[in-house]
Amino acid sequence: MPASNFANGISNTTFFAGEKYTALPVNVGDVVRVISRTILWREGANAAYERGISFKITGTTEPPVFTGNIPQLENITPVEFKDKIFITEDRSYPAELGAEYSQLNDKSRRGRDSILRVTAIDPNMFYDPRAWDNNDWSAKYSQLTYDWHVNENSGLYRWLLVDTVKAADDQPRWGARGYLMLKGTPINPYVVPGGEVVHVGAANYPPHYRTLDSLRAVGAPRDVIDRFIETFPEYFSSPIYDVDNARFLQQDTFRLR
């Protein structure tokens, strides 16, 4: 299938991956269609093709999606206030519990209580495995890798600080386990009229050789490593469990975490 690998000016290649191949030779931009061999035998090539699934090979994974404060800023009205945060000089952010600034009945204490929390989730759940369990090492990592920067010649560079809240340090915020919290005390002469720019980002943790390396580096036990390193054996040839390589008994049986 198909009768010819060249149709409509497009060259196709057919692989029976379950019997011979453990990986497909693809390039970025190629489209892969997976069909059911059962339907192919029972209903023919057209039905198998139409009821298959296809995906396009890309050079990277889907990026994380920001949640919480950042989407709120992007959708704020009026549009002149989009992506802008208004703070007050000589106040320390975030405000202490019990001494919040957002007290509308006190004109001297009106304003926001915090600057910004940077939170994000990954639709494909490509999270840092070191943040998975509530154990000794998960208290040191967040599920995603966050970054931020400001111009070193800016006023923000003189007073803005950022804390990385780890996965085990706080309850999930807007779906995120671990996040960035901007803080500091804006003081003159480093408060610039019109504002300045802070760049923030979030990166996921797709499957990679660093998955095994990072887990070994923190001393994760074998049962934890086995959850993330699921290397399938050769087809129909795995009578025993390979402890060293964390391989399952047979290719058609595996766990989803």
Banded pLDDT at 212 (limits 50, 70, 90) = confident
The pLDDT tens digits for 64-115 are 999 999 999 999 888 899 999 998 888 899 988 767 776 666 666 667 889 9
Res 138 pLDDT > 80: no
Q: How far is CA 55 from CA 28, 123, 207, in A?
A: 11, 16, 18
> Angle at Cα 75 formed by Cα 73 and Cα 76, nearest 5°?
65
Res 209 pLDDT > 80: no
Q: How far is CA 135 from CA 59, 132, 200, 221, 235, in A?
A: 34, 9, 28, 11, 36
Least confident of 44-48, 217-221, 228-232: 228-232
